[in-house]
Structure 1
Amino acid sequence: MTIAPTPEELPDVSTSSGDVTAEVRTVNGIRLHTVVAGDPTDPLVVFLHGFPECWIAWHQQIAPLVEAGFRVLVPDQRGYNRSEKPRGVRAYRQQQLAADIVGLIKSEGAGSAHVVGHDWGGMVAWDLALRYPEYVNRLTIANAPHPVAFRQHLLSNPAQMRRSWYAYCMQVPWLPERLCRSNDFRLLERALCDTAAPGTFTDADLERYRRAWGVTGVLSGMINWYRASARYPPNPPREQVDAPTLVIWGTDDVALGTELALDSYEYCPRDQRRLELLEGTSHWVQHEHPERMTELVLEHATAG
C-alpha cells in the first residue's frame, strides 16, 4: 500500500531526468518512507543506508542511476528518520529488516532487484541475498562484512574486537540514547566527521542529519539495530551468495578492517564476483568518492 507524503516528507533533491518523489509504503507490517525516482518499467535498484544515516546517504547516486535507465528506491529503513519505529529490540532482528526490503521490492511489482547496501544497509543486503536469494538479481556491498566472516573475526581477531568496541557499548539500556542526544547530537556528528576525510560532510549535510536524528524515537530505533544483533544473532539459511556480487571497500575504515572485505569476497560466486579496494578511503565511501561509487554501481548493474 502506498500513502501520499505530506509536504515535509518530500525529499530536498532533484534530478534532471525526472521528479524525485517520496512515498510511505506499508510493507512487512510497517510503514517505510521511501524516496522514489525513475520509470516504473525500468530495472529496479534499491539503495540501503547504514548507521547513523538515512536515505540521504545515497542522494548523489539517484540522478545518475535514473539517467542511466534505472528505477531507484531509497528507503529510510525501519527505526530511521521518517519510517516507522517499532518498540522493542526484537522488532529489529536481521530477518525482519531483510523482510522489509522483500516487501519493498514486491511493492514495485518487481520480481527482484539490484540491491546496494552500505554499513548496516550492507548487512541487510547480505542477509537478503542469503535468506531470500530469489529477490536479489545483483548485489553491491560497500564496507559491510558478510555475516559469517564478521562473526569469525569477532571471535578470533583481536584487532577487529578492538575496532568494534562501540557496538558493545550500544547494548546498555537508555544511556546510548542520552549520550547521542546530548550537545545537539555531537557524538553522532563526530562518528561521521572524525572518521572521514576532512570536508566530507558539509555543514548542510550535518544539519540534515540532525533533523533526522531529532525525530521522536529515532535514537532508540537506530541503536536497537545493535542491540538486536547481539541478542538475536543473524542466522541466514546459507553462507554462499548466488547473485553476482560487487564488494567495494574503503581501506581506511576505522571500524571494519580490510581483511573483512577479503574474507567476505570468498562467499561470493567465483565466476561472478568483483572486489574493489579504494585505497586511502574511509568507511564513508559513497560520500568521499560519489562519482566512483556511482560508476562502480552502474558497471555492475550493466555487466553481462
Structure 2
Amino acid sequence: MRPDRLTVLEHLGLTFDVTDAGPVDGPPAVLLHGFPEDRSSWDAVSSCLHAAGLRTLAPDQRGYSPGARPAGTAAYRLEHLVGDVLALIDAAGVEQVHLVGHDWGGAVAWLTAAHHPDRVASLTVLSTPHPAALSRSMRHVDQLGRSWYIAAFQVPFLPERVFAAGFRSLLVGSGLPLEVAERHATRLARPEALRGPINWYRAMRSSDLPARRVTVPATYVWGSRDVALGRRAAELTREHVTGPYEFVELDASHWLPETEPDACAAAIVRRVSSV
C-alpha cells in the first residue's frame, strides 16, 4: 500500500494536482470531482476503495488546480475536459481505468466513456444523469426550476463576485456539511478563483461533443433529496446506456461523496468487480 502523495500532470502547458493513492498494482480508478469541490471530496470514498484493493487517482480538474486555470471560456469546453481525463489515463501508464465522477465530474465521466470506451473499463457516476437525459428533462418545469443557477452563471463577471460572497450559505442550504462548505467557500472566496469553475457552465453551449449512448458497464447513484438534479432525468438515464447497468437510489442529498461515502464506495466496488 502506498501513502497518499501529491503528483502532477503536465498537459498542454497546464499543471494539474493529482492525489495518487492505494495499492500500486491495484485496478486504477480515476475520480473526478464536481462543482465547487476539489479532489479532497473523495477522501472518505478513496479510503474504502483502497481497502478493497483499488488504486485511486483524484485530480483537481481544470479551473481548480492553481496551475491549470486558463483564461477565457473556450478553454473549458467539454472536449478539453475529456482530453484532460485521457491525458491522466496516459500519464498513469495504463490502457483502461474504472472511471468515477460526481456532479460536473460525472458529466465528464459520461462523455469520456461514451466517446472513448476503449479507455474505460467501467463507469460509476454519482448524482449526475446522462447528459442527454438531463437535456430531455429540461423540457419540464421541475428540472428547469432546479437548474436556475446555470442561467445565472451565463452573465459575465458578476456571478463570481456574488457567489464568492455568499457561497457558504448556499452550499449548506443544498445539504453539504458545514465544515466541508466552509473549506470550499474559503478556497473560492476570491472572484478570480471562481472564474474557472463557473466557466465550465459558460462553455456548455459552445462545446462540440455530442451526448452519445454509453456502451461500457455503468452504475448511476442518485440521491432522492438532490436539490439540483431531479427524478425524471435520473430515470431517463437508463435509456442512454446500452451496456450492463445498475441504478442505485439513496435517501440522500446531492453531495454523495461527502455524505454517503460507504454506499458510494460499495457501488463502485460492485461495478469494478463485475468486469
Q: Into which bin does the TM-score normalised by the smaller protein fall?
A: over 0.9
State which of 156, 172, 177 in structure 2 corresponds to 1:201. 177
Q: Is the 8 A contact 2:48 2:262 kept in 1?
A: no
Separation in 2 of the partners of 1:287 and 1:19?
Answer: 21
Identity across matched positions, percent: 34
C-alpha distance after superposition, 1:123-156 (max 9, x if no partner): 00011011212111100011112121122222x2
* Counterpart position of 1:5: none
Shift of 1:294: 1.2
Counterpart contact for 1:246–1:275, Cα < 8 Å: yes
Is structure 2 residue 153 aligned with structure 1 residue 170? yes
Q: Distance in 2 between matches of 1:83 and 1:189?
A: 25
| CA–CA separation in structure 2 for the residues paired with 1:294 and 1:129 | 19
Q: Which one-letter code corresponds to 2:87 in the other structure?
A: G
Residues of 2 paired with 1:85 and 1:289: CA distance?
A: 30
- C-alpha distance in 2 between matches for 1:263 and 1:101: 26
Q: Which structure has the higher relative contact order (CA within 8 Å, separation 6+)?
A: 2
Which of 225, 237, 241 is residue 268 of structure 1 equivalent to?
A: 241
Q: 1:26 aligned to 10, 33, 36, which one?
A: 10
Q: Is the 8 A contact 1:126 1:147 kept in 2?
A: yes
1:150 to 96, 110, 134: 134
Partner of 1:285: 256
Check conservation: 2:64, 2:197, Cα contact below 8 A. yes
Q: Deviations over 1:58-106 (max 9, x none)?
A: 1111222122211100001100143510000000000100110000011
1:71 aligns with 2:55: yes
- Quick one: which amino acid aligns to residue 137 of structure 1? A
The match for 2:198 among 187, 205, 223 is 223
CA separation in 2, counterparts of 1:56 and 1:287? 9
Deviation at 1:269, TM superposition (A): 2.5
Aligned partner letter, 1:206 = A
Is contact 1:76-1:83 (8 Å) kept? no
Alignment partner of 1:246 out of 219, 226, 230: 219
Task: Give yes or no for contact 1:44–1:114 (8 Å, CA) kept in 2.
Answer: yes
Helix, strand or coil at the partner of 1:266: helix
Alignment of 1:72-91 (within 5 A): 72-91=56-75
Residue 266 of structure 1 deviates from its aligned partner by 1.7
Tell me, what secondary structure is at the counterpart of 2:229?
coil
Contact 1:54 1:212 in 2 (8 A): no
User: How far is 1:188 from its partner?
Assistant: 2.0
Provide the C-alpha distance between the structure 2 equivalents of 1:67 and 1:118, rounded to a whole number of angstroms. 21
Counterpart contact for 2:164–2:191, Cα < 8 Å: no
Mean CA deviation greater in 25-34 or 160-169: 25-34
Q: How far is 1:221 from its partner?
A: 0.3
TM-score, normalized by length of structure 2?
A: 0.94
Rounded Cα–Cα distance in structure 1 between residues aligned with 2:30 and 2:267: 15
* Distance verdict in 2 for CA 1:57–1:143, change over 3 Å: same
Alpha-carbon distance between aligned partners in 2 of 1:151 and 1:233, rounded to the nearest angstrom = 14
**d(CA) in 2 for partners of 1:234, 1:190:** 34
Equivalent residue number for residue 228 of structure 2: 255
- Cα deviation for residue 268 of structure 1 reads 1.4
In the alignment, is the contact (CA less than 8 A) between 2:164 and 2:190 conserved in 1?
A: no
Deviations 1:26-78 (A, max 9, x none): 12442111111023332110111111111111111122212221110000110
- Partner residue in 1 for 2:143: 160
Whether the aligned pair in 1 keeps the contact of 2:15 and 2:65 (CA below 8 Å) is no
1:217, distance to aligned residue in structure 2 (A) = 3.4
User: Which residues of structure 1 form unaligned runs of 5+?
Assistant: 1-16
Work out the CA distance in 2 between the residues paired with 1:202 and 1:168. 26
Distance 1:285 1:132 in 2: 26
**Any unmatched runs of 5+ in structure 2?**
none
The counterpart of 2:92, out of the listed 99, 108, 125, is 108
Q: Which amino acid aligns with 2:49?
A: L
CA distance in 2, matches of 1:234, 1:163: 25
